[in-house]
Amino acid sequence: MAVVFGGLFLWRSGREAVANEAPPPSPPMSVTTSVVRAGTAPSTLDAIGTLLAVRQVMLAPEVAGRVTAIHFTPGSQVRQGEPLVQLYDDPERAQLASLQARAVFAKSQLARSRTLAPVGAEPRSVFDQHQFDYQSASADARQVEAVIRQKLVRAPFAGEIGIRQVNLGQYLNAGEAIATLTDLDTLYANFTLPQKYLGQLRAGQAVHLAADAYPGRDFVGKVTAIEPRVGDATRNVTVQATLDNRGHPLRPGMYAHVTLELPSRPDVLTVPDTAVQSSQDGDTVAVVEKPNTQGVGTVAFRKVRTGIAGGGRIEVLEGLRAGEVVLSAGQVRVAPGARVKISYDRHDGDQASLAAGPRDTETATETAQ
């Protein structure tokens, strides 16, 4: 009987021990981490810019008239002062001929009076009248000459002329459009940046532009103007760069991807831009705190203040220290306080200068259940 009860006791104890054993741990969940880097960063700012012509006008006559000649071909290059459109000016030319003849006669009469008046052979009043007639005829002739010049529309500067908007024989009113004339040799690129970067902007800074029409081609310009006023609605500052458009590949109205070069700064902390989670409460980063010798640590979500972003990384101004490990993916799957195991990639911990373009030292991390 004692043997039976003893066996029963051992059987029950064994079942209770098995029941009290913890369930086997779940398979670890893989996430990705990266080391906070410190180094000298070549800072850049990215923006979307709009290209504008330095010189562009809509050609139009100053006076009304009928088109009698068109001297340009749409899309062609024209020189400064080159005749473009002639308006009917026969009446003005006839009037000019009459006035010039009157001026010639008045001039001869004035010359005669200059000889006679000093010796008393002609009254002074006659001399004064001849002088007035000559000056009046000359002024009237110059006035008509000005109207004739206005009836010939010339190119105010060298450039490319656009699509013609007039036809031969058409009556044009003053100010009516003829065509667009654009100087394509030099262009402006206007873009906006947040006001927090205003203190880092300077005239002469290099700007690189990329246009979808020319993949892989780098267009270089320089900052030439910074708007002194910040936009009320956007709190952005407008920056203008000037670039050489030799060969005329770019056109006004195009948009371009703009990269503004800022002075390099030492001791800059950066993390992959995917490591930063943004919300209405600010930016946060998941940090692996106090990892032990086996690489096991605890996840904590820490608020940070970020700076310039570019090249897949973002500057961290406050909240992190160099060498700390942050999650760069899978943050939403990890709860605060979760224990994780870091398995460093062989390149992890590379603290080379950012200017040398070090590789992203990502590591595989496992969540310990």
User: Which pLDDT tens digit goes with each residue over 295-330?
Assistant: 778 889 999 998 877 778 888 989 999 989 888 887
Q: Are 307 and 319 in contact (CB under 8 A)?
A: no
**258, 277: one domain:** no
Residue 169 tokens read as 């024989």
**Residues in contact with 336: Cβ distance below 8 Å, sequence separation at least 6, in sequence order:** 299, 300, 301
Q: Are strands 313-318 and 296-310 parallel, antiparallel or unpaired?
A: antiparallel
**Residues in contact with 333: Cβ distance below 8 Å, sequence separation at least 6, in sequence order:** 29, 31, 367
**336, 360: one domain:** yes
**Residues in contact with 365: Cβ distance below 8 Å, sequence separation at least 6, in sequence order:** 30, 31, 32, 33, 288, 327, 340, 341, 342, 343
- 11 within some domain: no
**219, 257: one domain:** yes
**178, 50: one domain:** yes
| CA geometry: angle 249, 255, 256, nearest 5 deg | 75
**235, 274: one domain:** no
High-pLDDT (> 70) share of the chain, %: 82
**228, 355: one domain:** no
Average pLDDT over residues 57-79: 95
Q: What is the C-alpha to C-alpha distance for residues 112 and 127, in angstroms, rounded to an integer? A: 9
- 245 within some domain: yes
Q: Are 276 and 314 in contact (CB under 8 A)?
A: yes
**193, 339: one domain:** no
**170, 312: one domain:** no
Least confident residue range of 28-37, 67-76, 97-106, 252-261: 28-37
pLDDT in tens, 273-302: 889 998 888 899 999 888 777 777 888 999
Q: Are 301 and 332 in contact (CB under 8 A)?
A: no
pTM exceeding the 0.85 threshold for the entire prediction: no
CA distance readout (Å), 4 to 11, 15, 18, 120, 247? 11, 17, 21, 169, 104
Is pLDDT of 7 > 50? yes
Looking up tokens 């009987």, which residue turns up? 1
Look up the CATH number of the domain holding residue 286: 2.40.420.20
- 342 within some domain: yes
Q: Are 103 and 137 in contact (CB under 8 A)?
A: yes
**329, 249: one domain:** no
- 316 within some domain: yes
Q: Which of 244, 263, 282 is the last residue of a domain?
A: 263
Closest by CA to 85, choosing from 202, 201, 165, is 165
**198, 70: one domain:** yes
**237, 284: one domain:** no
Look up the CATH number of the domain holding residue 253: 2.40.30.170
- 4 within some domain: no
Q: What is the C-alpha to C-alpha distance for residues 315 and 271, in angstroms, rounded to an integer? A: 7
Phi/psi at 268 (5° precision): -100, 130
Q: Is 292 helix (H, G, I), strand (E, B) or coil?
A: coil
Q: Which of 263, 292, 316 is the last residue of a domain?
A: 263
Overall domain count for the chain: 2
- 222 within some domain: yes
Least confident residue range of 47-61, 158-172, 319-333: 319-333
Residue 14 tokens read as 């064994």
Which has more pLDDT, 200 or 244? 244
Q: Which of 219, 242, 263 is the last residue of a domain?
A: 263
Q: What is the C-alpha to C-alpha distance for residues 197 and 192, in angstroms, rounded to an integer? A: 10
Least confident residue range of 67-71, 107-111, 174-178, 364-368: 364-368
12 pLDDT band, cuts 50/70/90, is low
**281, 227: one domain:** no
Helix (H) or strand (E) holding 251: none
Domain residues for the domain of 175 are 44-88+151-263
